[in-house]
Structure 1
């Protein structure tokens, strides 16, 4: 897989003339060189349904007079640039108006994405209809006729559908469309049937050709769905609604699956489909560096003008980031992450408990990742199939109920010396009535007070001792003989209600000890509120520092210690073939502009960043990459210490053993 890819969108209406009229092989190549691009995804078929090449399986765009796809592939290959080919799979607006009976319908017979045909927008196809055969023929044509370097299929996944094909099929099986469990099973089968047919179509002609089926999200806990792809592309446009926390959450899960993957961002100020929008070059520099730091290759989204003219401003922008990536690649190939903490994803656990999974994931996962990033911990996001034995601590955030299988895995982990951090309802039995692990507490019930308060028996680094508000649901617990209390729960005088309310928001603490709120037991530390959900929704400083205190109790020897600011990110990657570790330091401070758009513009310089890496292996040299500047270091007491004097955005430090 190449490091410096562009995903070149080209969804072009039949109402526009002169398609490809300004395409020039020389200009196309010039822009790829300007952008330091080594792979570009080009279009066979767009969401409007048109082909951008002569076709018998489809229809060429009515205002295109030549083989644009073939010309792009020839031009790119001539300068050593790969060309995966894009095919819109779930959307085909041309065909949607001809065969609306093949579209996905909800239980009220409405379509999606656009709910009707009087609203501008696309309509999604059900793969349980004759459309699948048409799509497969379009894929076969491209793979047979063109020297493609891969196939990218878009807008696919497990979809709820009550079209008459799905209704007829479920009735043929002797069930009823009102039986949700049977319908869910059908929807899963429909997607897997689609993926199998497309994969077999491609690999029958070109065995081993890369294929990616884009669902917009790689579901944590759905390894089966991830593995229908040859590689993964993590769509994560920070300014398009994902934010800057989304990619680390996805990447820290995906790197553990052992598949090649890339991080997909965009050059746009907002989202796909934007013409004339540009983010600051510093934003792309940071986003591409964030991919490298998490073991990923990179794809930047662009959108080609209908005339086929490549925008010089866009490729100058991309080139500022990709010229740096090109210089860094040697230290980013074939890496694996060092992690001491496993964050067991709530999203993955929910799926393991038999509930559906087709969303971005709950706040608990994102809040936990934000705390771990700001605390500069080395962590992976894992599912219930993961090997826990390589970690020191497993975090059970907020809502991890303990099945028999999970209890056996966690008990074995603890028996080997591992420790657990559980919050909220995590650690309870599937029926939510008792703890399945020994945190030194007995469960009494969910608290009727919301919010309630926590008074720690320790002082927080940034604050003195106080009653700190906990906004989310809490649990009432009782200390057992094996537990050590680390802080107390306090209730408010009363919940805010019609005749009992106080001040503008909530009632203060009554300052009375209402039982333990945080306890350390033989298996680890338990905190009785949904701490990670709380941090995702409110971002409260005490919540973060309470969680970090618990982690520092459990991590006797933290692998990385640094004075990096909270907004900074650090990872540690192993490059075994070169016998070296690469520490990544990143720093940017997104600001919110407009309506919930996170923007990076300024990249301040950081000075004298101190780092200590725990390792007993003898280190021969430490140097900055890609500059290859030697860095003074000391190795003593099981650690390597050094200071990075001056840097901004992204700095790699190589520990050569």
Structure 2
């Protein structure tokens, strides 16, 4: 539309007026929903697209946004060769790949109390950090979201959001919004300064780091186009792994799987030929895979097409909810009983040489107007004859959507079944700790210094109120046992930024120590002699 010409003219005016003083341009709200205005209908018809077809409308909208980015970057570079350029859409996901070359860096807008939630940044940054661009975590000083004048975030919440950025190797950005008078609000910058003073002390151990990861979680965003930013399956996998202190990234089909010991395909990762070949190659080269529900099927969901899975599709499970009984290999931490699976799974047949780690048990009947029992699901009756979890060589399959179920229903048994299964494939995890499930532990490597840095964060977001997630209290942890897998013995171990040295032992694989106190955020540094 002519609006793009208007934005171009504005941009040129700014660049010509301020010249080299322009150190960066931030284009906000750069996304386009499918549109049927006169301009878009005319454009679609010229492209041979059908304005009445939703897929064609989406395709054209994406094309317009990407063309806008390329056009604006070209215009900016004609007037300024060095300024930064960023196009904000409130989320960074695989869709950015088509226009990634138009960005100088990535800014991950994520205001937890403003609609993004506390899962958004730590999931998104695990993807964005592997795109080859400098990246920044962007939050706000607001109690709620943008334009929340007079609303101030609790300091512990702002600390957590900034320190989480540091723990993932991201720079920090705290957004404010200027009053119409142009006057700076003193209290706002006292709040921001109280956090940034701490950031300044920590920066030396957070610059130019590489994540140390053992697991890759494949994002459904890479294969689906339905506008969902955080799929329940990814949120469930994220929660299981973070609560169990595993080190992991979020990946798409363009990333290198070979650097990860385990690849997780959560619930709905169906395959085209390209992804099928890539996963099969990963398995052939010794990679280990956990997949669940309809993951590993062809796009039409007719059959499983991962090599060597040891399973064959029968169809949807006849009963739902149904139950799972764990066998000894995945029973650790579970009661000797049947656990309800709230969402419908699949029935599969296992090869004779595959190991059945858990069984599906049926209820007496499906609850309906014809017959029911009490207030909820029908009680368990008998073994269905179908497996719930199957292991063959380095591949494990869950017949239920275990990851989205954990996110939706929060039953600890789902996480325990997954973690017990994961341990069968990954015996030596990077981090072992007795820290509670509310603690986040991230390990980074700083190549310039030859040192590893373990970040322990213990802030607990709460939904105390109807619409707001926030953090009010910092609850310290004391005498936390920490083991970190390292390639060689460190020369010394200390807390940063206090520089307090810690006693440790090294057994040829793990450095083991006690962290005396974690008050919100503690970095533990493992120095090696370069």
Which TM-score band (shorter chain)? over 0.9
Relative to structure 1, the CA distance from residue 204 to residue 492 in structure 2 (aligned partners, 3 Å threshold; closer, same or farther) is same
Determine the structure 2 residue equivalent to 1:90. none
How far off its partner does 1:552 sit? 1.1
Name the CA distance, whole Å, in 2 between partners of 1:245 and 1:633: 33
How far off its partner does 1:574 sit? 1.0
Pair member with larger Rg? 1
Name the CA distance, whole Å, in 2 between partners of 1:178 and 1:191: 20
Name the CA distance, whole Å, in 2 between partners of 1:189 and 1:486: 47
Name the CA distance, whole Å, in 2 between partners of 1:617 and 1:543: 36
Name the CA distance, whole Å, in 2 between partners of 1:453 and 1:382: 32
Determine the structure 1 residue equivalent to 2:5. 133
Q: Tell whether 2:159 aligns with 1:285.
A: yes
Q: Tell whether 2:219 aligns with 1:219.
A: no
How far off its partner does 1:221 sit? 5.2
Assess if the C-alpha contact under 8 Å between 2:292 and 2:402 holds in 1.
yes
State the aligned residue count.
524
Q: What is the CA RMSD across the aligned residues, in angstroms?
A: 1.6
Name the CA distance, whole Å, in 2 between partners of 1:288 and 1:253: 18
How far off its partner does 1:460 sit? 4.6
Counterpart of 1:603 (choices 451, 456, 474) is 474
Q: Tell whether 2:268 aligns with 1:396.
A: no
Name the CA distance, whole Å, in 1 between partners of 2:344 and 2:45: 43
Counterpart of 2:494 (choices 604, 618, 623) is 623
Q: Tell whether 2:41 aligns with 1:167.
A: yes
Name the CA distance, whole Å, in 1 between partners of 2:50 and 2:120: 38
Name the CA distance, whole Å, in 2 between partners of 1:345 and 1:174: 32
Counterparts of 1:241-280 in structure 2, within 5 Å, are: 241-280=115-154
Determine the structure 2 residue equivalent to 1:640. 511
Determine the structure 1 residue equivalent to 2:240. 371
How far off its partner does 1:564 sit? 1.2
Determine the structure 2 residue equivalent to 1:142. 14
Counterparts of 1:124-523 in structure 2, within 5 Å, are: 129-146=1-18, 147-220=21-94, 222-350=96-224, 356=225, 358-437=227-306, 438-458=308-328, 460-523=331-394
Determine the structure 2 residue equivalent to 1:531. 402
Assess if the C-alpha contact under 8 Å between 1:491 and 1:512 holds in 2.
yes
Relative to structure 1, the CA distance from residue 184 to residue 609 in structure 2 (aligned partners, 3 Å threshold; closer, same or farther) is same
Aligned to 1:577, what secondary structure does the other structure show?
Answer: coil
Assess if the C-alpha contact under 8 Å between 1:218 and 1:226 holds in 2.
no
Relative to structure 1, the CA distance from residue 174 to residue 576 in structure 2 (aligned partners, 3 Å threshold; closer, same or farther) is closer
Relative to structure 1, the CA distance from residue 234 to residue 173 in structure 2 (aligned partners, 3 Å threshold; closer, same or farther) is closer
How far off its partner does 1:426 sit? 0.9
Assess if the C-alpha contact under 8 Å between 2:356 and 2:389 holds in 1.
yes
How far off its partner does 1:594 sit? 2.1
- Structure 1 unaligned blocks of 5 or more: 1-128, 351-355
Name the CA distance, whole Å, in 1 between partners of 2:32 and 2:234: 22
Counterpart of 2:413 (choices 525, 530, 542) is 542
Name the CA distance, whole Å, in 2 between partners of 1:508 and 1:612: 43
Aligned to 2:357, what secondary structure does the other structure show?
Answer: strand
Name the CA distance, whole Å, in 2 between partners of 1:335 and 1:296: 9
Determine the structure 2 residue equivalent to 1:13. none
- Give me the TM-score of the superposition, normalised by structure 2: 0.96
Name the CA distance, whole Å, in 2 between partners of 1:234 and 1:524: 34
- Give me the TM-score of the superposition, normalised by structure 1: 0.78
Aligned to 2:31, what secondary structure does the other structure show?
Answer: coil
CA-to-partner distance for each residue in 1:458-503, whole Å, 9 max, x for gaps? 3655441211111222010112123101110012222222222222
